Amino acid sequence: MAELVYPPVVLAAKTAFRLLDLKLDVRGTEHIPAAGGAVIACNHVSYLDFLFCGLGAQPAKRLVRFMAKREIFANRVAGPLMRGMHHISVDRAAGAESYRAALEALKGGEVVGVFPEATISRSFTVKEIKSGAARMAAEAGVPLIPMALWGTQRMWTKGRDRELTKRHVPITVLAGAPMHPTTDDDMDAVTEDLRGRMSALLDTIQRDYPDEPAGPDDRWWLPAHLGGTAPTPEAAAELDRRKPE
C-alpha cells in the first residue's frame, strides 16, 4: 500500500523528540520481525503511547498499524492522519469488523499494534487485559510480542494537564521475546501469560528508570508500589467505573 502519510509523520515525531531532548531508550528491537505479520501488545499509560510504541519497530523498518477507538478517526485533524497511516478503527460496541480488519492486515504481512488494557491505566500498572491480541496472533499464525513503555505519562495522561513541550523526559521502550500462540491453545491462559510478560517488562523499566520525582508533589507519575501517589490498582478500577474514558 502507498505510504504517503506515515513516513512524514514519523519524521516529524522524531524531530519533535530531538527538539525536546527526550532521553529515548529503546530496547528489545531484535524481537520485531523484519518481514511478515506480528502483533505488538503494549501497556498503556499515556495518550502518546502509540508514538513511542511504534519506535520499537523502527530498527526493523516496520510501520505499525495501531488499533484505536473510532472517536479518534472522527476527529477532523487526527482522523485523516489515522486513515492515511492505515491504522485500524475500533468500535467498542461492535468489534467484529475491526477484528476482521486487523486479521486481514496481519495475514497481509503487517505489524498490528494493540493496547490490550483497552484504556489508559491510572495506576501505572498493567490492568486486566483483553484476549483479542492473543486470538488475532493465533488465528493469523504470527508472533505475539509483549512490549512495555514508561515515562510517556509525564507528558500527557488521564486526569492530568498536557505537558507536550516538557523537555528532557526519559522515555523507555522495551520489547520482549515473542510468543507463538496457536488456535489449539487456551486463550485465557495465553492472555494471562501475556499480561505477566508485559508486567515483568514494565517492572524492569520502572525500576531502572533514570529519573526521580522532583519533590513530593511530583510523585504522581510513580505507581503506589514504588512510593508514588498514583492510585492503587483497586482505586484506579473504581475511578474507571465512576469516570469511564
Find the CATH number of the domain harbouring 33.
3.40.1130.10
Count of structural domains, the chain: 1
| Domain annotation covers residue 3 | no
First to last CA, the chain: 33
Domain, as residue range, for 86: 17-242
What was the pLDDT predicted at 208? 97
| Domain annotation covers residue 237 | yes
What was the pLDDT predicted at 217? 97
The DSSP 8-state label assigned to residue 55 in this structure reads G
| Domain annotation covers residue 8 | no
| Domain annotation covers residue 138 | yes
| Domain annotation covers residue 9 | no
Residues of the chain with pLDDT under 70: 245
What was the pLDDT predicted at 92? 75
What was the pLDDT predicted at 116? 98
Residue with cell 512510593: 227
What was the pLDDT predicted at 168? 98
| Domain annotation covers residue 1 | no
What was the pLDDT predicted at 139? 98
Q: What's the whole-model pTM score? A: 0.96
Establish how many alpha carbons lie within 13 A of residue 201's alpha carbon, considering only the half-sphere containing its beta carbon.
27
What was the pLDDT predicted at 59? 97
| Domain annotation covers residue 12 | no
Q: CA–CA separation, 26 vs 10, rounded Å?
A: 15
| Domain annotation covers residue 4 | no
